[in-house]
Structure 1
Amino acid sequence: MDRFAGRAVVVTGAASGIGRATAVRLLAEGAEVIPVDFAKDPEPLAGAEFRELDVTDEGAVAALFAELSSRRIDGVFHAAGIAGGSPVHLLDSASWNQVINVNLTGTFLVVREAVRIMLEQERVEGERGAIVTVASVEGLEGTAGGSCYNAAKGGVVLLTKNVALDYGPKGIRCNAVCPGLVHTPMTSDVFDMPGLEGFRSDFIKGHALRRGARPEEIAAAAAFLLSGDASFVSGAALPVDGGYLAGKDHGITELLGLTD
């Protein structure tokens, strides 16, 4: 399948996890991928050359997209982000600012520069470009202890919707993927923290499918939203969550003998 043949897509957070899986998926579907990450020595991606970028550095983000402005950018997938959180009475301002700056302000800076480029492009099959952000199920509902992370991801959801509203008339689509638990290095770092040993299994039980996602499963949804197959999808916050947001089980399926 070559849905992205002749199309160029910028992927941030491309060194690992969801970002890397999406870059690999897009390359496999014929895209020219421009992978971006804060990592100084990422594992190479066959067929693509990494660019180093701190998404909280306004000047660096603007410079990267200025460099790319001489060519067409059909899509941007913004996956760069960090974990963090705590009940607010235990959360210091520096930790709050770091999570908000990376996850929300970084999204704003990347999306802003992407829009600026896309507005100057001619329409192709009715579109000037497509943008996909990464929010979370924790941007759609609260999670105890989530605080700054949930606030940032909730902000990403509404920012995405506003971008879709503002630039839809100009042929720019913007959507968010909202993953549940995904097995990535970032989530491993969280669950490996002392005292969280049982949280992983409890979190997984909250998913109707009783498992976490592979990064490739989130990448499949991202590729759909970036592609022409989603040409009438904009402003969506798409849960890719194994049924996490479908509702609460409260042990009923086990009582009814519906679990293995």
Structure 2
Amino acid sequence: MLDNKIAIVTGAGSGIGRASSLKMAGYGAKIVAVDFNEASGQETVRLIQEQGGEAIFVQADVSNSDDVQRYVNAAVDSYGRIDIFFNNAGVVQKFSKLADTDENEFDRVINVNVRGVFLGMKYVLKVMEKQGSGAIINTASTAGVKSEHSASAYSASKHAVVGLTKGAAIEYVKQGIRVNGICPGGVETALTKGVEQAFMSGGYVPEEVGNMRMGRYAKPDELAEMVSFLASDRASYMTGSIVLVDGGLTL
């Protein structure tokens, strides 16, 4: 499905990023695994190679322009092109009411979740535009379509990802580039562990926490299948789509 495609994955060291890296490699893609944590990113590369795939690792802070250009250049220098960009790296906020949210915490969330997505697309799109082709998948969240209690900064950041996705889709649709977004709900990842406890300590627990509509959280592999689909030619008529992969959470 993705034979010999070149895919950059940010946040590749864990969770949805790792699962998607492994899944796309299994479908034949060559992976440029990007993560801030070198040990976990290298582990993803090892797992890909263990299953017979090909991958390289680039350590990067996605909110840093120089680091972003470095991982883009590494992909082009190593493989000559970028066919797929899974713009996935993100952070959650320390849960608190808006007026109690620390300004530095707000900046941290926006820098990674919004600036990181923006910078990634900015430099990858330059490569894809020259090629005349490419598929970008941005990770938003159900918090990008509905707000979450005690998570205004996070919700704002993921609403921004939705806006960036739709804006880029319109601007580059004539250049053969597709830009779509996914909105996961609860997923079994290290990032979301402790979320329920954090809500409890804040004195408010949304009714869906601990009682997902399907009775369980998603497995990262389930999100990886959607990412692989959107990255492939099977999704050739999809751009600007914001795909809910949330087990009915937003119904």
Same fold (TM over 0.5): yes
Counterpart selection for 1:91 from 101, 118, 125: 101
TM-score after normalising by structure 1 = 0.87
Q: Is residue 2:174 matched to residue 1:176?
A: no
Distance 2:226 2:89 in 1: 17
Counterpart selection for 1:75 from 71, 77, 84: 84
- 1:219–1:147 distance in 2 versus 1, CA, 3 Å: same
Match of 1:161 in 2: 166
* Residues 92 and 109 in structure 2, CA contact (< 8 A), matched pair in contact too: yes
Q: Secondary structure at 2:61's aligned position in 1?
A: coil
TM-score after normalising by structure 2 = 0.90
Counterpart code for 2:29? A
Match of 2:57 in 1: 50
Q: Secondary structure at 2:191's aligned position in 1?
A: helix
The worse-fitting range, judged by mean Cα deviation, of 12-21 and 45-54 is 45-54
Counterpart code for 1:95? E
- 1:178–1:83 distance in 2 versus 1, CA, 3 Å: same
How many correspondences in the alignment? 238
Q: Is residue 2:2 matched to residue 1:4?
A: yes
Q: Is residue 2:33 matched to residue 1:24?
A: no
Counterpart code for 2:112? V
User: Which runs of 5 or more residues in structure 2 are unaligned?
Assistant: 50-54
* Residues 142 and 150 in structure 1, CA contact (< 8 A), matched pair in contact too: yes
State the superposition RMSD in angstroms: 1.8
Give 1:192 shift: 4.1
Look at both structures and tell me which one has the larger radius of gyration over its CA atoms.
1
The worse-fitting range, judged by mean Cα deviation, of 183-192 and 34-43 is 183-192
Counterpart code for 1:203? V
Note the alpha carbon deviations across 1:175-201, whole angstroms, 9 max, x for none. 000001001001004334462799487
Distance 1:204 1:219 in 2: 23
Distance 1:77 1:197 in 2: 35
Distance 1:8 1:197 in 2: 46
Q: Secondary structure at 1:156's aligned position in 2?
A: helix
**Within 5 A, what are the aligned runs for 1:101-112?**
101-112=111-122
Match of 2:52 in 1: none
Match of 1:138 in 2: 143
Give 1:78 shift: 1.3
Distance 1:155 1:200 in 2: 23
